[in-house]
Structure 1
Amino acid sequence: MGRYEFSSLAARNDIEAEKPWSERRVPTTLYELLSDTVSKFATRDALSFQIESGPTDKKETLTWQELHDKSVQTANLFRSLGVGQGDVVAYVLPNSNETVMTLLGGAINGIVAPINPLLEPEQIASILRETGAKVVVTLQGFPKTDVAQKVHTALEDAPDVKHVLEIDLNRYLTPPKKWIVPLIRPKVQPKHSAKVQNFNKAIASQPKTLTFEDEKIDRVAAYFHTGGTTGMPKVAQHKYSGIIYNGWLGANLLFDETDVLICPLPLFHVFAVHVVFMAVMTSGAHVVFPTPAGYRGDGVFDNFWKLIERYGVTFVITVPTAISALMQRKVDADVSTLKVAFSGSSPLPRELFNRFEKATDVKIVEGYGLTEATCLVSCNPTDGVKKIGSVGIPFPYTDVKIYDCGADGTINKECGVDEVGEICVSNPGVYVGKTYTEEAKNKGLVAGDKYLRTGDLGRIDEDGYLWITGRAKDIIIRGGHNIDPAEIEEVLAGHDAVAFVGAIGQPDAVAGELPCVFVELVAGASVTEDELMAYAKERITERAAVPKYIEIVDELPKTAVGKVFKPDLRKSSIIRVYNAALSEAGHKAEVVEVVEDKKRGLVAKIEAKGDVDRAAVDKTLGEFTRPFDWIN
């Protein structure tokens, strides 16, 4: 499959001008897409998984024909369990070949709902109830993970679930570990009424051709939860058309059947599912998933370069936190096959970009997307100028506008070049007016009559590049995970000594942002910051949301109506974090203020306090994503 040149706004416009999206000959359904790929690349490798991270550890590779057959068997199994076209199969799984089979089988048969296995039981139960899932696919009890225990607990509060299919990861191990697991496997005693079966045994008896008609209609085929790792997440609806559009982009702009991707990202997230796997399936390429936990897996960072050599990887799929960890390891293998690293989920610090490029001689392409748009919106051109810090050029058939919007979505005006406003998106992945399953949560999400309001603030420069300058929403993005500050604030507001709370994301060189909290006490009350931290740790169930810093202040800044004014809190945290980094590095410079810039958002102003190596200071602060300027 030939690739289009994606080098500039003009090249992108040429792709659109060739023919409208409605005239592109793309499949209507996922089964049609899978069948088309098998007809071209049946014997080529499609999918590889290894449970351990070593470069010689056991792996299981499926060809496109084998993946087709197993996915069809999975779809037939779900239909035999009473799951129809409008019904839901949820999975709560780490990565494995069975996870991909469940993803495809669920979406071919009905609606598939991936769920983050790191969530707590009450959150898993909430998503199961909201989606009305009839079948859940999860792990059989396995050492060093509590996924099975959490899911069976959640099922006690999800009465619509009638069947549970369990995957036993032990089949991927080799002796002696394979012999030991049955002896130490945690016992899970279900207290719900759903029938429990072994996944692989159940699909083995199913035929390898569909037992039902694949109706050629564009319909909702996936539910992805969003709204963070805390609270009760919202559920976004994804249609075949949006999923196939994301796959078309990857296959036509990024890679072809000769490419090999390594994707240590979780298959409950749109990045791994739509941006990576659907593009792999469209192109006929080969994707490698190392360990169930991906980048979090034991030894993955230590063995990463060797895995690239083992598989002849050409594309790395990554996030800034992973790049940071990789740059702490020596490139100790032949990575000459590597062509591109695609980074998403959160902004990439300039210094990290430069360090990776120098170590690997490989360019990083930064992209932008969101769950509500079925993911992809823009990326830096693969064949052209990459503006570090921007999220690149909108993809073909994606219309991005910068609007000044009213609360109900009324467009007050369209912003000009480099003028900051709310990023609004229209493309085949936007399900206009029906973004979420809950109707109430769709109110005010549409600008005009077709643009999804992202909640992100940004600008478009004279070359058509999109820059994110802030968020209209207060979401904290920690290493690509969204955290709702309201959940942190609610917990700390429950302390008797606390009057007001403001939670924000403070800059971090590794995670991008970390939860940070400012607290105003009740008059006359007494409590220490350590005591508040202990209180938060005890009551915030999601580890990622526990604050890394708590500061008690005399009075929080507030708006005229008494709401905590968070821009001032963000300025304070930038000054504190940046000055700590400068001090630790021994630089005679400090941030004296943070100002709001119309184009760049919050900008730190640095002042020299003696003889200072400005290049070294730039390198230190380049580890963070927020911009800075010298003032003398």
Structure 2
Amino acid sequence: MAEPRNLPALWRTVWQDPAHRDHMALVTEQQGWTYGELDAAVRRLAGALRQAGVSRGDYVALAMARGPGQVLALLASLVAGACPCPLEPRLAADETRRRVAAVGLRWMLHDADHADLAQASGIAPSCRLDLDRLPAAEPHWDEGHADGDPALLLFTSGSTGKPKGVLQAHRGVLLNTRGVVAHTGLRPDDVLLHVMPLHHTNAINNQIFAPLACGATVALAGRFRAEDMPDLLERFRPTLMTGVPTMYSRMLQHTFDPARLAGLRMARCGSAPITPALHREIEAFMGCPLVVSYGLSEATCTSTINPPAARRIGTVGTVLPGQRVALLDEQGRAVPDGAEGEVCIGGDVLMLGYLGHDGDSPVRDGWLRTGDLGRFDADGYLSITGRIKDVIIRGGENLSPKQIEDVLSREPAVAACCVVGRADRDLGEVPVAVIVPRPGVAIPDHELLRARVREQLGRIYAPDAIYISAALPENAVGKVDRKAVARWVSDQDQAHGAGAILPASQPA
């Protein structure tokens, strides 16, 4: 039999294998699908999408509440030959319209809860499809995708401004799936507890695509809440779960049945840095290895993972099979062994490109310049030693300082502002803003400013605190010196308490 050349082809070989047909593929608190039932449901929905007019290569926005319908829509869009684009929940309507227009989304598949958002999206009425009202159609399965065809469109925030669409290729999602399965030893008797948001590359590529490509079971629970986790472990009895440091940190505050924790063979952690102390505390609490990984949406998902049986605390693991990771200097040359350099990723996992973004591409000379600094040890384990870029990672969510600054700067009372990250034990980092009031205008009410950001961007973007300054420091080329602003915020916190609203002064 020929080697499957894309994910739909790989899924078909697994889902139709007699050894898997009666094994559970997807379970929730209310219902479940065996692999045979999942195969049939996905085929039917893919046929309905094709009958509605969706063609191979079309971009299909998914506006849905977290749940099995969202997973089936994601899988069926791919099997129909289209390129799904899961939209982030709780976005303002204006931002949704901007994203739809920016990347050229033609279709939207939505549920009843998102009917109003679909109507306000700017997508033509004939291309807005209600999941619950799609007419029955002949089952369909398309696995004719070429390696370089688009497979998945995700939005990500960098340090440069508005979120842009990252277009992932079929070759990338297939290579990532195979690498994750091989490197972590995923197997049919695994049960993966899924509690992460379904618009993230990790939650899709590693927690939906990969387990369903090896016959494992995905236990789809609600969005993570630490207080729910003891009951979820009892109900689903998972062998593995994936999260961000914030999630595991919050779990430490709750009581778990030792027998249920004992069923976990590993927990995966990514999307944000974790301190060695917290890593050890989590492992002692959970009684299983905490496997830290590293990757970017621009390189499909995961490029390095700690091997579960040989994890090294303080590192993000070793390179996945078939991937290329190098440490380069500013001129693009490899640094000497053991030296620090910029983490760069190459090969088939690289995105096809950005959509809705008019800035420079981070891919140069075949390498994705991640903006992160790292060092390999003698055994090939990578440690992330710093960050060149300004992105703020709040509980695993990448936030663009510039995007928040753009909202605040539109306020009449704000002459200038700078948003930086502040360390937070629970979330890792939170955004805080330093604003310069406009002369002759009353200092703006900080709660009003935070509300503006929530309304236009979403809750997680709202600054945790707002500081008043007479001016912002600049570097030699006239740009705001973010490092100096961050130091000033830290000094103010120590002197006056975190988040104090201070009289106008100037960062040194």
Question: Which TM-score applies when normalising by structure 1?
Answer: 0.72
Separation (CA, whole Å) in 2 of partners of 1:517 and 1:235: 26
Separation (CA, whole Å) in 1 of partners of 2:255 and 2:292: 23
Structure with max Cα Rg: 1
1:334 and 2:259 matched = yes
Residue number in structure 2 paired with 1:177: none
Unaligned runs of 5+ in 2: 499-508
Deviation at 1:231, TM superposition (A): 6.6
Deviation at 1:361, TM superposition (A): 0.9
Which one-letter code corresponds to 2:408 in the other structure?
A: L
1:79 and 2:50 matched = yes
1:507 and 2:458 matched = no
Could you say what secondary structure the match of 1:306 adopts?
helix
Which digits, 9 at most, give the CA deviation of each residue in 1:302-341, with x for residues without a partner?
2312322322210011111211221111113621211100
Residue number in structure 2 paired with 1:45: 24
Residue number in structure 2 paired with 1:425: 345
Which one-letter code corresponds to 2:178 in the other structure?
A: W
| Cα gap change, 1:460 to 1:447, in 2 (>3 Å) | farther
Aligned mate of 1:558, from 457, 466, 474: 474
The answer to whether the 8 A contact 1:134-1:160 is kept is: no
Could you say what secondary structure the match of 1:42 adopts?
coil
Which one-letter code corresponds to 1:491 in the other structure?
A: V
The answer to whether the 8 A contact 1:93-1:116 is kept is: no
Separation (CA, whole Å) in 2 of partners of 1:383 and 1:580: 46
Between stretches 366-375 and 117-126, larger displacement belongs to 117-126
Between stretches 216-225 and 68-77, larger displacement belongs to 216-225
| Cα gap change, 1:526 to 1:461, in 2 (>3 Å) | farther
Which digits, 9 at most, give the CA deviation of each residue in 1:485-535, with x for residues without a partner?
11222233334554432111110111111111123445x54644x724423
Residue number in structure 2 paired with 1:445: 362
When the two chains are superposed, the root-mean-square deviation of aligned CA atoms in Å is 2.7
Deviation at 1:284, TM superposition (A): 0.5
**Counterparts of 1:296-307 in structure 2 under 5 Å?**
300-307=225-232
Aligned mate of 2:373, from 457, 465, 468: 457
**Counterparts of 1:57-456 in structure 2 under 5 Å?**
59-109=30-80, 110-141=82-113, 147-154=114-121, 157-159=122-124, 162-167=127-132, 198-199=133-134, 202=135, 205-208=136-139, 210=141, 214-215=143-144, 217-218=146-147, 219-227=149-157, 232-254=162-184, 255-291=186-222, 294-295=223-224, 300-332=225-257, 334-335=259-260, 336-388=262-314, 390-405=315-330, 411-431=331-351, 434-438=352-356, 440-441=358-359, 443-448=360-365, 450-456=366-372
Separation (CA, whole Å) in 1 of partners of 2:73 and 2:459: 28
1:470 and 2:386 matched = yes
Which digits, 9 at most, give the CA deviation of each residue in 1:235-274, with x for residues without a partner?
1111111111121122222210011110101222111110
Residue number in structure 2 paired with 1:534: 448
The answer to whether the 8 A contact 1:95-1:289 is kept is: no
| Cα gap change, 1:571 to 1:379, in 2 (>3 Å) | farther
Separation (CA, whole Å) in 2 of partners of 1:574 and 1:332: 40
The answer to whether the 8 A contact 1:124-1:151 is kept is: no
Residue number in structure 1 paired with 2:10: 33
Question: Which TM-score applies when normalising by structure 2?
Answer: 0.89
Between stretches 315-324 and 417-426, larger displacement belongs to 417-426
Separation (CA, whole Å) in 2 of partners of 1:437 and 1:377: 22
The answer to whether the 8 A contact 2:145-2:170 is kept is: no
Deviation at 1:122, TM superposition (A): 1.8
Separation (CA, whole Å) in 1 of partners of 2:236 and 2:110: 28
The answer to whether the 8 A contact 2:156-2:165 is kept is: yes
Separation (CA, whole Å) in 1 of partners of 2:490 and 2:118: 40
| Cα gap change, 1:527 to 1:105, in 2 (>3 Å) | same
Separation (CA, whole Å) in 1 of partners of 2:164 and 2:53: 26
The answer to whether the 8 A contact 2:240-2:265 is kept is: yes
| Cα gap change, 1:537 to 1:243, in 2 (>3 Å) | same
Residue number in structure 1 paired with 2:487: 571
Unaligned runs of 5+ in 1: 1-23, 51-58, 142-146, 168-197, 406-410, 583-632
| Cα gap change, 1:160 to 1:484, in 2 (>3 Å) | farther
Could you say what secondary structure the match of 2:354 adopts?
coil
